Structure 1
């Protein structure tokens, strides 16, 4: 049972992030709260003119072993863990001259920042905090008597509470701070354990898998209005929604974030030396294109499915320029995400007050390792991110006809897009742009038919005489289990096919391709996306 008001007479402060710490400690001192500190924090506070006791006065031991051992002592942990209303605890404190610590202020060694900055193994190891988490857990366990602060953003709330209650803190505040403290150490340990797992030369999954993150944004609701939701950021730095600065527009929703991430990861698949644009709706692309200019890439992506693009997400792999910004604002768009935007483009987008503009500062590496995590009832499914990439030298021609240069380029492009389309995925592409996409169907032939139908609709919208799929290539995210899906694509007018292969009916599918005069290559790599 958490006691109600408890006075604060002594605070132990040991922080790596010293932002705001002098002002906070000064406010504590003005309330006659004794300050105890360690190492660099004590030096910072002393230089600011504050009276600070060194923690060695509590322990009787100096800071040793390059700072690895300074707070791991009964003089510290006894002061944090002693229950004030417990006579036995109080007797032990008196017998061993242990002084109570009523407030602990600790933020941990910057392991996550060191990892994100590319620190080597030894540097990461040295930035693993030991004494900090031990003190935090002790103080949080004894939150009935002790307040623990692990986030500098809580300084204001704590000072306001002390002022309101004449130097005391409420039980509800201490309990809230304790919850955050345990969550912080959990996220910290998760980052360390997952990093360690990556260092091991093994293909087996660890027996325990921890995941953690920090709230970046509270969301109005989840996928639906009756669901609560929040956006948490954690793990190694990866350019995208997590690193993005929202320049303008309405607050992002759960679905916005999910779709925007899908869009940005897709354009990251494209070669960095060419402009790429993806338009996403419900986590599936309705148009993707590469071109010499961003304006052309956007126009070609939009052409694939201009109806579905309404209210979609637009992702770019290069700086948003004024010409492209002008065209984008001609259609209703929820979010634009790009690594950057020039000043003129920002001004143009700024005229659409509700349009969200996210600038990430860079592009994610599609080949980079990472984790893909999904929840199931009572557990988590964890796998490596699908960072498999197909290059031209990996393609195996299995038909009588060899693909030409244009077909090869379009097949590689289409297969990269198919990797980001919900299974069963069929993608028609021509001249570096999608011209028909079929996604998420129970049957692959249905996806092929939908993609062909989309290409016909797009042709009508563009006032062209024949379906855009005529003369295109087709990519399938997995093998054709029967020849019917390939035959449907041939009827749509494709000239070449790229697919993983591996079906027991591969010979039947290859024969159908030969009969239709198609070139077909297999990749021996599947890209299911469920």
Structure 2
């Protein structure tokens, strides 16, 4: 139903609005007392509720309880306290209209010129794992009603929903009141605040009413800008990084030293984490342009496993590793840092760093050093924007007990290899997932020796992997992220001397590929599972 219409000529000009009466009710009490002191010092009457009023009163300041305004005590454990004409008439009266002013006088209701409200901590309560009833209690009703009322009436009322805006209100007190443009801007922030809050509540309800194996009917992603980046993938593109509420990833990492992170740094570092943390043993991944140029686990019985893993990853393709981004899945040691002393590296990210390692890195002042948050974990879902919408899928993850899964792989050529050789095949299969499709990985002793990535046909990927491996291809194992549509790709691998091939299988020409492997005496497994990475 539409609201009343007024003759435009009835509206009086109102730019500067002096602050005489303020309604203050906040869950986040950051800087509340300094704001209240400034208001009281300017002669503003403060009306407040519950714990907010108590905090202001404890600071020795005068405060009017909202129950004195409504003539109604808080009820139902605080669920009902501000939902009353004595409050909302004071918020919604448009004093540009003489009729509204007259009605307030008849009702003996004083208007508010300032409202300071932020909402119950719903998102934080959900993130804490609280019980459902406790979460429900954090669904604010009166707060959003006050925020929206004041924002609608921004011609007369300034609405503040964050302590970040307190300084501008204190400044306004010193110049006689708030200006219309400022009130418009505050209203815009207020409506964004309640919209985000409502989306969070709606998402929580939606997730609680669908089967846990189903994808949500409604998807809400809330993020706050963390930093504006110098530029995007290229210098003419604007860019920023946003942190997602409840996130535990690279956006929450702590930068310990180095230049500002760039857009490409973040993309490559995230790809490096994906590769390194797929592996349970101490492992290092080196990334360039979102593709690995080396991934390795530590050599058996290495005295410093993470340093060993780095040296073996670097040996895969030292040329491409120049200017790379490195991720380690263990604390970076002094020895690993010393390995990097003479290697130009853009970023290194890990769960921790030995103090002595950081001392070495300080000599490389441009090196960006990022420490993962303690609660870092790989995402459960992948989201990707497309024009006009987005795609959502389960993250492509390997089970921790992949050895038991490997026991179900179909051996289609040769004899089942001994445990050490099978472990190498598992490593190749895991690392292949981190390579952009079409992907071919050659590995020896749980370290990559040749990688073919991002080609538009699998034959070229095979050639590239073999070329990069050189003599190291002989005796290695090969992994392919998808089936071989023809036998020409495997022929390249066989000619290079690979001893085993692991691939999903499923091509209409699987028979030709298996015959090739059998004739060459090469072990081949079908996993039945593809690992495209676009």
Query: TM-score scaled to structure 2, two decimals?
Result: 0.88
What CA RMSD, in Å, does the superposition of the two structures yield over aligned residues?
Answer: 2.5
Aligned residue in 1 for 2:380: 369
Alignment match of 1:403 (pick from 417, 422, 435):
417
Structure of greater Rg: 2
Alignment match of 1:423 (pick from 434, 437, 440):
437
Q: Offset at 1:388?
A: 4.8
Task: Identify if the C-alpha distance between structure 1 residues 159 and 405 changes in structure 2 by more than 3 Å, giving closer, same or farther.
Answer: same
Aligned residue in 2 for 1:280: 287
How many residues are paired up? 513
Contact 1:58 1:99 in 2 (8 A): no
Aligned residue in 2 for 1:179: 188
Aligned runs of 1:351-390 on 2, under 5 Å? Answer: 351-362=363-374, 364-366=376-378, 369-370=380-381, 372-389=382-399
Aligned runs of 1:274-313 on 2, under 5 Å? Answer: 274-291=281-298, 292=302, 293-313=305-325
Residue 49 of structure 1 pairs with residue 56 of structure 2: no
Task: Identify if the C-alpha distance between structure 1 residues 281 and 196 changes in structure 2 by more than 3 Å, giving closer, same or farther.
Answer: farther
SS at match of 1:475: strand
- 1:491-529 deviation digits (Å, cap 9, x = unpaired): 333222222233333333333322232222233332222
SS at match of 2:321: coil
Following the alignment from structure 2 to structure 1, what is the Cα–Cα distance between the partners of residues 502 and 83? 61
Aligned residue in 2 for 1:470: 474
Contact 1:116 1:237 in 2 (8 A): no
Aligned residue in 2 for 1:455: 469
Q: Offset at 1:315?
A: 1.0
Contact 2:22 2:114 in 1 (8 A): yes
Residue 414 of structure 1 pairs with residue 425 of structure 2: no
Following the alignment from structure 1 to structure 2, what is the Cα–Cα distance between the partners of residues 217 and 84? 40
Residue 321 of structure 1 pairs with residue 333 of structure 2: yes
Aligned runs of 1:64-79 on 2, under 5 Å? Answer: 64-79=75-90
Q: Structure 2: which 5+ residue stretches go unaligned?
A: 1-10
Following the alignment from structure 2 to structure 1, what is the Cα–Cα distance between the partners of residues 84 and 519? 80
Residue 248 of structure 1 pairs with residue 257 of structure 2: yes
Task: Identify if the C-alpha distance between structure 1 residues 448 and 184 changes in structure 2 by more than 3 Å, giving closer, same or farther.
Answer: farther
Contact 1:268 1:364 in 2 (8 A): no
Contact 2:121 2:138 in 1 (8 A): yes
Following the alignment from structure 2 to structure 1, what is the Cα–Cα distance between the partners of residues 388 and 203? 21
Q: Offset at 1:24?
A: 1.9
Residue 442 of structure 1 pairs with residue 456 of structure 2: yes
Q: Offset at 1:114?
A: 2.8
Task: Identify if the C-alpha distance between structure 1 residues 191 and 223 changes in structure 2 by more than 3 Å, giving closer, same or farther.
Answer: farther
Task: Identify if the C-alpha distance between structure 1 residues 94 and 381 changes in structure 2 by more than 3 Å, giving closer, same or farther.
Answer: farther
Contact 2:14 2:96 in 1 (8 A): no
Contact 2:410 2:527 in 1 (8 A): no
Query: TM-score scaled to structure 1, two decimals?
Result: 0.89
Residue 482 of structure 1 pairs with residue 496 of structure 2: no
Task: Identify if the C-alpha distance between structure 1 residues 481 and 329 changes in structure 2 by more than 3 Å, giving closer, same or farther.
Answer: same
Contact 1:319 1:338 in 2 (8 A): yes
Q: Structure 1: which 5+ residue stretches go unaligned?
A: 457-465
